[in-house]
Amino acid sequence: MNRESMTSFSYADILERIQAGLEAARAILNRFTPGEIETEYKHGHDPVTEADRGVDAALRVNLLRGGEGWLSEESADDVSRLSMSRVWVVDPLDGTREFVAGIPEFCVSIGFVENGRPVAGGICNPATNETIIGSIDSGILYNGKPARPSERTTLQGALILASRSEIKRGEWKQFAGGEFQIRPMGSVAYKLALVAAGLADATFTLTPKNEWDVVAGAALVKSAGGFVSTLDNTELTANHRNPLLSGLLASGPFLKEPLLNLIGKHSGRHAQPQRTAVEPARSRG
């Protein structure tokens, strides 16, 4: 499968829009020099830049069509999305702290949700020239070539990508000295995309994340055939009134149980059969 063959799938139009959105975002970000960015701070001390706002506007133009909802970190929330079955969930620049610091661990994150389920996504890291895009019926492409998640079956020797912020706060000390390698990295969307493409074995976050942080990456992992769940092993759904989600797990398909057991051992949670949401997230309020 190549990029052209994706046009034969049911989400072909969505994938084309995602690709166009990523290309427009890349053009905007190329006007800025990471590490030399004028920065403002939102409520909660989260940084925001002119690049965030410019990409948000470009994504809206390239992605949104009539009858579709919109949820973006940099847009005022329009709750009419809750009544819509097809919703875009985007983070114009996931990893703004890294972008401001000149660390090449940030990306544009585009997710598409249908009836509360992430079904397509794309990320672009212009600093590393990486683009990962796909849908649940097409699989994923990494820089235009088919990719799959890791087929590792045990955590021994595994590469686990960790939140740089969580490591700085000491939240990963409990996992130190394990049989796996831990690599700190910014941008949860970028980490999820690397897991989807098999460039890392697993990732998880121990703190809550917003839908715009994780929906695109989760869609890519699921589309590639990997495993995604909340920390409580419930199915990830989206387009909730409150977009804040619990922590997230993601890995190749064969690390599901080892990963759940690892989290359970250190957090007091115990691996349970995965629970599926009874109703679409869009009907909740």
**Is 80 exceeded by the pLDDT of residue 76?**
yes
The pLDDT value recorded for residue 280 is 37
Chain-wide mean pLDDT for the chain?
A: 89
**Residue 131 neighbours by CB under 8 Å, 6+ apart:** 22, 122, 123, 124, 125, 141, 142, 143, 144
Dist CA 228 CA 235 (whole Å)? 8
User: How many whole angstroms separate alpha carbon 156 and alpha carbon 198?
Assistant: 16
Tokens of 166: 């969580």
Q: What is the pLDDT of residue 273?
A: 44
Listed range (33-37, 64-68, 132-136, 220-224) with the worst mean pLDDT: 33-37
Confidence of residue 48 (pLDDT cuts 50, 70, 90): confident
Predicted structure pTM score: 0.89
Its CATH architecture, for the domain 4-147, is: 2-Layer Sandwich (3.30)
Interval 117-147: pLDDT, tens: 999 999 999 999 999 999 999 999 999 999 9
Please tell me whether residue 82 adopts helix, strand or coil conformation: helix
Q: Distance of CA 131 to CAs 126, 142, 275, Å?
A: 8, 6, 32
SS3 134: strand
Distance of alpha carbon 4 from its chain centroid, rounded? Answer: 24
Domain 159-283 has CATH 3.40.190.80: yes
* Buried b / exposed e along 123-153 (16+ C-beta atoms within 10 A): bbbbbeebbbbbbbebbbbbeeeebbbbebe
**pLDDT above 70 covers what percent of the chain?**
88
pLDDT at position 7 over 60:
no
For residue 241, give Cα distances in angstroms to 49, 78, 237: 26, 10, 12
Residue 197's nearest CA partner among 249, 251, 258 is 251
